[in-house]
Amino acid sequence: MRMHQALRPITAVSIPTLRDALRKDRADLERRYLQHGRVTRLLAAHSHLIDQYLRRVWNALGLPDTIALVAVGGYGRGELSPKSDIDLLILLSQDADEVLQVKLSELVAQLWDIGLEVGHSIRTIAECLNESNDITVQTNLLEARLITGDPSLFEEMQQAISAQLDPRAFFLAKLREQQQRHARYADYDFNLEPNLKESPGGLRDLQTISWISRAAGLGNSWKDLASAGLISMSEARQIARHDSLLKTLRARLHYLAKRREDRLMFDFQTQLAEQMGIVASSHRRASEHLMQRYYQTRRAVRQFNTILLQNLHDHLFRESPPQHALNERFRVIGNLLDIRDEHLFEHTPHAIFELFLLLQQHPELTDLTAKTLRAVWRARDRIDAKFRRDSVNRKLFMSTFRQPQGLLHGLRRMNQYGILGRYIPAFGHIVGQMQHDLFHVYTVDEHILMVVRNLRRFAVEDFAHEHPMCSKLINEFARPEVLYVAGLFHDIAKGRGGDHSQLGKKDARIFCKQHELSRDDTDLVVWLVEQHLNLSSTAQKQDISDPDVIANFATKIKNDRYLVALYLLTVADVRGTSPKVWNAWKAKLMEDLFLRTRRYLRDGQAADQLSEIRQEAATTLNLYALAAPSYQLFWAQLEDSYFLDHEAQEIAWHTRLLAYKVNTDKPIVKARLSRVGEGLQVMVYCNDQHALFARICDFFARMNYTIVEAKIHTTQHGYALNSFQIMQVAESDTAYRDIMAYIEFELAQEIALEKPLTILVSGRVSRQLKHFPIGNKVNLVSDNKGFFVLSFVAGDRPGLLARIARLFDQYQVRLHRAKVNTLGSRAEDVFWVSGAIFATPAQSAALLNDLLIKV
């Protein structure tokens, strides 16, 4: 560390000198840290370095020796991260006079001038005592450390704070603070960009234990807690390793971001992995290995946090809650489940699953005692091949799936304690595994448990309003445990390379046979794992108004039980990817496919679907006093494909609007609230014109609306009759009636004026897409109905659909229908097209190439 010459008053000249020296010293710290990699050494050295500069400025200003400069917070602990604020307390023996106030103001100003990012407070001891009623202030003062100034004044403050501190009240306040923080960061628990400090299982959870330990007089290190008997020395070493990893990630993150940044953002994950020597494997990025290590640490920290909070509570309160025996192995203490023998799992391993079963059967039990938690945590290593082969263990595990309540909490606990991954090794491989597919926002294990949660939620009466059909179906479904097993295995083979559905079905079959599921139930579980993507893909990427699509999909379905199971699993799966992926439009598509397939399986192909739709539309129109003669001219202009593409209520809506305006010379644009319960339906009717679809797409993109489905028809007399289902990208305070009025007027004006088209330039892509990009993919096949089906996959960005439409226009491609599927930052669009360019592969190659490189 650079040594400075004898102190001299700080002048306008020496402030830049000090600023440069500080910058160089910090850079030297960073360089040496990147060489040795020891984070504890870095944080202590950084704290020591800042101490020196603070003393230099303090002494140069000639501040009185009756006051003290005190480090608090993380700086007070001697653990100052590279870009963290420097928290200071200027401790006074009495209120500052005017001269001292000026000097203190000059002190703070000069500290900032030389590059120290200080947060400060100026207080007397009395004011410190008064302010310490606030738990944050009290915590900061608990970690106070004298930098310079009057040591007796500092000691007096410490004694006063210690005398006022009530360890029990402090414990309860910190526990409440942690609970509130966990609730605030619940959405980030398994988020792909977690907060290293504040997220559950982060540094703050470890610091909370340290603070309570200090307040209770038990020391300030993990070794001290072991000496006090709250944990073993082995556990203390484990906690220290996890603590070190979190601090390492945070320190390196600060250096990479060049600012205080506690979120493990996509921007830095790859660089962090490289710095830490983590390399990519054949099927996974280096960043994914890094994040899996983080999530494993996060899980362990949460476990130790829970254990130590219980032990600290017992130490501080020494209560004797009521207890009674449940059986010869377990008892209840208060509202906690406890093992009667701390060596229970060693001599009776099947008691591990009995514990989780008892928690399900006794919902009044809220958790496990610390002794039991520690025993379960240690027992995970006893789950080996012999344990997995034991028929008692297998029956107990399956019993948890057949209980009327508590399955999800049981599986979450098993995962938290490391039991689930040991019992099902394939599950252990995906614990903490990230998914950089641009639409899953959870790790694989958390996504799987979210799917099981959704399936269980369907069966709960209180949530029946969320998915009435799913709730009805699952409550009529015999042996629903097969659905939960399928949910547990549907993504279990992620990250191995190859088709995870095919690999996962092998794991599922082995599990079902080992756990003695019937042959029928085994076949269903295996089929569900293999086919779990099929219903979603068909609904969102194929034309489900086409009877042949329904017939082809139905050939894969064995019977109604299989169809119901696949539908329930699909809805639970899509809802479990991300809160932003699921919407009412996807719900309707999947429900429509389910109902049409169910009808097909029951009745076979409808004899005359066209006549049926026309009759249903006519019946609806009669309710509006529109008799057939009034709309015969309009219907005469429509081809059969129009009636097959639209629902009867859509046809009736269009007819009411256009029956008397068949040959209008002005564009007609009408909007209404979508019948699916979310978004808008927009109808456009006008003389067909050049680049019409591109113009409409660009209009909606500028409005920040996304098109999820487009039905494009040209009438026999040359009019475009287009129907759009649109969804708002971001929430808006604008009333729907105002939005609809805007669309109806402005879009009609743009179509009528036919101004030169200016497509929205490519907008800002998401950070995830920026750092984990996906290349454009395009595929073209014939649907044997005179159309070609063009599939396009790319990273989603503003104006994407409009640019595709512009290319179609340039190549004189006629668009008949489009399904636009946005999955987070991933766009998967399907277009039904025709045109001379598709006459030969050579002719269509230019279009496909432009879609790959220009869109």
| Both tokens assigned to 71 | 């480090």
| Cα–Cα distance measured from residue 146 to residue 47, given in angstroms and rounded to the nearest whole number | 12
| Cα–Cα distance measured from residue 33 to residue 155, given in angstroms and rounded to the nearest whole number | 34
HSE (CB half, 13 Å, CA atoms) of 808? 26
Residue 771: pLDDT band (50, 70, 90) is low
What is the tens place of the pLDDT at every residue in 380-393? 999 999 999 999 99
Instruction: Annotate 486-504 with b (16+ C-beta within 10 A) or e (fewer).
Output: bbbbbbbbbbbeeebbebb
Collapsing DSSP to helix, strand or coil, 682 comes out as: strand
Q: What DSSP element (H or E) covers 573?
A: helix 560-575
| Both tokens assigned to 363 | 């919902």
> What is the average per-residue pLDDT within 345-365?
96
Judged by phi (left if over 0) then psi (alpha if -120 to 50, else beta), residue 516 lies in: left
Cβ–Cβ contacts within 10 Å for residue 475, how many? 13
| Cα–Cα distance measured from residue 92 to residue 67, given in angstroms and rounded to the nearest whole number | 5
Residue 602: pLDDT band (50, 70, 90) is confident
pLDDT of residue 11: 54
Q: What DSSP element (H or E) covers 820?
A: strand 814-823
- 3-state helix, strand, coil split of the chain in percent (to 5) is 55, 15, 30
| Cα–Cα distance measured from residue 403 to residue 407, given in angstroms and rounded to the nearest whole number | 7
pLDDT of residue 758: 72
What is the tens place of the pLDDT at every residue in 820-855? 877 667 788 889 899 999 988 888 999 999 998 887
Q: Is the pLDDT assigned to residue 536 strictly greater than 70? A: yes
Residue holding tokens 């504890």?
A: 40
Rounded to the nearest 5°, which phi and psi values hold at 260? -75, 110
What is the tens place of the pLDDT at every residue in 145-170? 999 999 999 999 999 999 999 999 99
Collapsing DSSP to helix, strand or coil, 678 comes out as: coil
Collapsing DSSP to helix, strand or coil, 736 comes out as: helix
| Cα–Cα distance measured from residue 561 to residue 518, given in angstroms and rounded to the nearest whole number | 15
pLDDT of residue 437: 59
Cβ–Cβ contacts within 10 Å for residue 39, how many? 21
| Residue 585 contacts residue 727 (beta carbons within 8 Å) | yes
| Cα–Cα distance measured from residue 129 to residue 181, given in angstroms and rounded to the nearest whole number | 25
| Cα–Cα distance measured from residue 794 to residue 773, given in angstroms and rounded to the nearest whole number | 9
Instruction: Annotate 101-139 with b (16+ C-beta within 10 A) or e (fewer).
Output: eeebeebbebbebbebeeebbbbbbeebbeebeebebbb
pLDDT of residue 101: 93
Residue type, 437: D
Q: Is the pLDDT assigned to residue 481 strictly greater than 50? A: yes
Q: Bridge partners of 843? A: none
- What mean pLDDT value characterizes the chain? 91
pLDDT of residue 132: 87
What is the tens place of the pLDDT at every residue in 33-79? 999 999 999 999 999 999 999 999 999 999 999 999 999 999 999 99
Looking at the chain, how many residues does it have? 855
Residue 272: pLDDT band (50, 70, 90) is very high
HSE (CB half, 13 Å, CA atoms) of 695? 19
Residue 625: pLDDT band (50, 70, 90) is very high
What is the tens place of the pLDDT at every residue in 445-480? 999 999 999 999 999 999 999 899 999 999 999 999
Q: Is the pLDDT assigned to residue 31 strictly greater than 70? A: yes
pLDDT of residue 645: 86
> What is the average per-residue pLDDT within 532-557?
92
Collapsing DSSP to helix, strand or coil, 706 comes out as: strand
> What share of the chain has pLDDT > 70, as a percent?
95
- Quick one: DSSP state of residue 193? S
Collapsing DSSP to helix, strand or coil, 574 comes out as: helix
pLDDT of residue 763: 56
Q: Is the pLDDT assigned to residue 7 strictly greater than 60? A: no
What is the tens place of the pLDDT at every residue in 772-819? 677 789 999 988 777 899 999 888 777 888 889 889 988 999 888 888
Q: Is the pLDDT assigned to residue 1 strictly greater than 50? A: no
Helix axes 135-142, 151-164, angle to 10 degrees: 130
DSSP string, 414-470: HHHTTHHHHHSHHHHHHTT----SSS--B-HHHHHHHHHHHHHHHT-GGGTTT-HHH
Residue 5: pLDDT band (50, 70, 90) is very low
Residue 581: pLDDT band (50, 70, 90) is confident
DSSP string, 327-358: SSSEEEETTEEEESSTTHHHH-TTHHHHHHHH
**Of 322, 333, 404, residue with least CA distance to 373:** 333
Indicate the Cα dihedral angle 633, 636, 637, 643, nearest 10°.
120
HSE (CB half, 13 Å, CA atoms) of 628? 6
Measure CA 316 to chain center.
37
pLDDT of residue 438: 52
| Cα–Cα distance measured from residue 851 to residue 854, given in angstroms and rounded to the nearest whole number | 6
> What is the average per-residue pLDDT within 418-447?
86
Q: What angle do CA 213, 216, 220 make, to 5 degrees?
A: 35
Helix residue ranges per DSSP H, 766-810: 767-771, 800-810
pLDDT of residue 762: 55
Residue holding tokens 């990427």?
A: 541
| Residue 832 contacts residue 815 (beta carbons within 8 Å) | yes
| Cα–Cα distance measured from residue 195 to residue 191, given in angstroms and rounded to the nearest whole number | 9
Measure CA 115 to chain center.
37
Collapsing DSSP to helix, strand or coil, 830 comes out as: strand
pLDDT of residue 8: 46
What is the 3-class SS of 469-533, one letter each residue?
A: HHHHHHHCCCCCHHHHHHHHHCCCCCCCCCCHHHHHHHHHHHHHHHCCCCHHHHHHHHHHHHHCC
pLDDT of residue 403: 95
Q: What DSSP element (H or E) covers 210?
A: helix 203-215
| Cα–Cα distance measured from residue 536 to residue 545, given in angstroms and rounded to the nearest whole number | 15
Residue holding tokens 């290590």?
A: 293
Of 147-156, 207-216, 511-520, 721-730, minimum mean pLDDT range: 721-730
Rounded to the nearest 5°, which phi and psi values hold at 286? -60, -40
pLDDT of residue 10: 54
Q: Bridge partners of 191? A: 442
